Amino acid sequence: MSLPRSTRRYLQLDVFAERPGGGNPLGVVFDAADFDAASMQAFAAWTNLSETIFMLPPTSGDADYRVRIFTPRQELPFAGHPSVGAAWAAVEGGLATPRDGALVQECAAGLLPVRVEGAPGHLRVDVRAPRAREIAGAATRHASEVDLALAGLALGQQAPALWSNGPAWWLVELPDGAAVRAMQPDLAAIAALTRASGAVGLAVHGRADAIDHQLVVRAYCPADNIPEDPVTGSVNACIAAQLAQAGTLPGRDGRYVASQGRELGRDGRVHVHVDAQGEAWIGGQVQRVIDGRVGWPAHVGNVR
Amino acid sequence: MKRRYVQLDVFAGRPGDGNPLAVVLDGEGLDDATMQAIARWTRLPETTFVFPATSAEASYGLRIFSPRREVPFAGHPSVGTAHAVLEAGLAQPRDGLLVQQGIAGLLPLRVEGDGAKRTIAVRTPTARVMEVATASDPRLRDALRGLPLGALPPALMDGGRRWWLVELADETSLRAAIPDWNAISKLAHDTESMGICVFARSDDPVYYLAVRAWVGAPAHFEDAASGAANATLAAWLASRDALPGDTGFYRVSQGREVGHDAIIELLVDGAGEVWSGGRACTVVRGRIDWP
């Protein structure tokens, strides 16, 4: 049995998951140095996963590995769950060895510090997210759309605001985690708000007092044809920045765990840490669900 | 437990041209909820699970799941699963035939050739004409506005799933057509159908028909390669004595407008049965670890 063309290693991982199916899937193609961008994009469209990544040798002497991240439609400079999966794959696949638990990832957004803990098979990976900032005045400019998107919802203490760490997210605090889980989103109104303000989506969060998580999060991106995203790295980093600024971080010592995705039949856990410098780190466990080889032409020109 | 896992491109001679499919070759021990969870997680149009047959006449058993629900029959999952089963050596054709045992019953598959040149066709459940309409039908008018129509009237066919089949005047207009998604969605809801499958005759040396399949419900999308919809189209053309070519065998081109380039082979045999098939290529081969 042979695949039709030269093959390379392929993994399909579940990120932010403590069991297969709990998190956000990610395709990983190893040894992709000879792939051209069009071929990467074609394969990412074919897998239909929210992201597919390609592992490459670093071009910077300061980096341990390089990764390119593609959605089915476009290349992304940075994304949270693909970066956590990339670091996991780099270590488990033997491409990089952490020094004192640290790695440096090279991606289109630049060099990104990564922390890796634990024994092989049980690695915990954390990546530092680009610094988030509030987009001042957005809530005033879009007050009527915000009101429509949140009509009938009881809100928490924090006023709704637009934050960005690359992608821009509307962040809305609800009174508690139970209110987050019970929310029936008005997707048409959320789509109108995010389109009008150039945001990727709207996320709600509320505190919980569970053994294994202190915050409940849900994220809606209806304008991108994703009614609700199962587990979202970037949004959890934005929420952490907002809570840190307000001085209301849950958990202890700037560390907490967010639960996301149960309403979609998933059970994602995002480990969040705001460090002494105010940088937000996001991480979690990774499950190796599919392990095999892929045969895909490295050059689109050879195919058509 | 790790189970053998394959991801294929069906109705394609090259990776990326066809319709993707995931196949779990060792389905034994998986319950319905777990199969549904895996099919949701792969995010592919369909995921199939292979089991040992329980009928002496069958070569293997299979279950077919979309991300939302179990599907009684679908064309590209049947063809792709047979390809994966043959590659893995789980079954051998007898007199050129395999028999799959699904929840729609036993269905034979014809196997011709070997390796990359192998073609597999599944005998599709009998389709029937539900309704023959006119282009001025108020339910169809908006969805067909601006399209130059061909000789046959629009028809609603039922082959498990229901499709409106609409002939267009020529291949150039078919390829240039821009679907009106709101109108197609309304038509699909109003008539409990998938949507519209438009087709046009072609002078191409490889294929006689060009097809586009616009799904209006539950989501809006253009299908890259539709085995079952093309089978209902063959049954419709046969019922009007309008099959292309003169042997009952013809090829269809589908998917170019959405970045694919699938070839689907149709055969209407002497008994009037419709077979739908083509080539398939394996893209990913490995194991899946799902407790």
Q: Rounded to an integer, what distance in angstroms lies between the CA atom of residue A163 and that of residue B36?
A: 36
pLDDT, tens only, A248-258: 999 999 999 99
pLDDT value of position A301? 59
Q: Is A290 on the interface with B (CB under 8 A)?
A: yes
Flag whether pLDDT at A55 surpasses 50: yes
Chain B environment of A286 (Cβ under 8 Å): none
State the Rg of chain B over Cα. Answer: 18
> Among residues B127, B144, B116, B131, which one has the least CA distance to residue B281?
B116
> Among residues A199, A205, A195, which one has the least CA distance to residue A240?
A205
pLDDT, tens only, A9-18: 999 999 999 9
pLDDT value of position A2? 40
State the average pLDDT for chain A.
Answer: 93
Tell me if residue A4 falls in helix, strand or coil. Answer: coil
pLDDT value of position A33? 94
Flag whether pLDDT at A4 surpasses 60: no
- pLDDT-derived band at A304 (thresholds 50, 70, 90) equals very low
Q: Rounded to an integer, what distance in angstroms lies between the CA atom of residue B71 and that of residue B69?
A: 6
pLDDT, tens only, A147-192: 999 999 999 999 999 999 988 999 999 999 999 999 999 999 999 9
pLDDT value of position A302? 47
Contact A295 B15 (CB under 8 A): yes
Chain A environment of B283 (Cβ under 8 Å): 3, 46, 294-296
Contact B289 A289 (CB under 8 A): yes
DSSP per position, chain B: -EEEEEEEEET-SSTTSSEEEEEES--TT--HHHHHHHHHHH-SS-EEEEE--SSTT-SEEEEEE-SSSEES--HHHHHHHHHHHHHTTS---BTTEEEEEETTEEEEEEEES-GGG-EEEEEPPPPEEEEE--TT-HHHHHHHTTPPB-SSPPEEEESSSEEEEEEBS-HHHHHH----HHHHHHHHHHTTS-EEEEEEE---SS-SEEEEEEE-SSS-EEES--HHHHHHHHHHHHHTT--SSSSSEEEEEE-GGGT--EEEEEEE-TTS-EEEEE-EEEEEEEEEE--
* pTM, two decimal places: 0.90
Residues lower than pLDDT 50 in chain B: none
Contact by Cβ (8 Å): A233, A80: yes
Looking at the partner chain, which of A21, A47, A291 has a beta carbon nearest the beta carbon of B37? A21
Q: How far is CA A67 from CA A89, A299, B138, B231, in A?
A: 11, 18, 53, 43
pLDDT value of position B217? 78
Q: Is A297 on the interface with B (CB under 8 A)?
A: yes
Contacts with A, B 6-45, CB within 8 Å: 9, 14-16, 20, 37-38, 40-44
Contact A48 B14 (CB under 8 A): no
Of A118 and A4, more confident: A118
Of A77 and A148, more confident: A148
- Choose, out of A41, A52, A92, A289, the residue to mutate when testing the contact with B (most B CBs < 10 Å): A289
Tokens of A210: 């569970």
Question: Could you tell me which residues come within 8 angstroms of residue B119 by beta carbon, excluding any fewer than 6 positions away?
Answer: B111, B112, B113, B265, B277, B278, B279
How many Å lie between the alpha carbon of A84 and the closest alpha carbon of chain B? 18
Q: Rounded to an integer, what distance in angstroms lies between the CA atom of residue B124 and that of residue B230?
A: 10
- pLDDT-derived band at A77 (thresholds 50, 70, 90) equals confident
The total number of residues written for chain B in this structure? 291
pLDDT, tens only, A212-244: 999 999 999 988 778 899 999 999 999 999 999
Active-site residue, selected from the candidate residues A51, A145, A173, A279: A51
pLDDT value of position A303? 43
Q: Rounded to an integer, what distance in angstroms lies between the CA atom of residue B35 and that of residue B39?
A: 6
Contact by Cβ (8 Å): A169, A163: yes
Chain B environment of A1 (Cβ under 8 Å): 87-88, 285
Active site residue A51: yes
Contact by Cβ (8 Å): B291, A19: yes
CA geometry: angle A154, A157, A161, nearest 5 deg: 90
Tell me if residue A164 falls in helix, strand or coil. Answer: strand
Contact B285 A293 (CB under 8 A): yes
Contacts with B, A 175-214, CB within 8 Å: none
Contact by Cβ (8 Å): B94, B251: no
Query: Is the preceding peptide bond at B218 cis, omega within 30 degrees of 0?
Result: yes
pLDDT value of position B116? 73
How many Å lie between the alpha carbon of A294 and the closest alpha carbon of chain B? 4
Chain A residue nearest residue B23, CA to CA: A290
Looking at the partner chain, which of B42, B285, B291 has a beta carbon nearest the beta carbon of A292? B285
Chain A environment of B287 (Cβ under 8 Å): 290-292
Q: Is A262 on the interface with B (CB under 8 A)?
A: no
pLDDT value of position A70? 94
Given the cut 0.90, state whether the ipTM is greater than it.
no
pLDDT value of position A223? 85
pLDDT, tens only, B157-175: 999 889 999 999 999 999 9
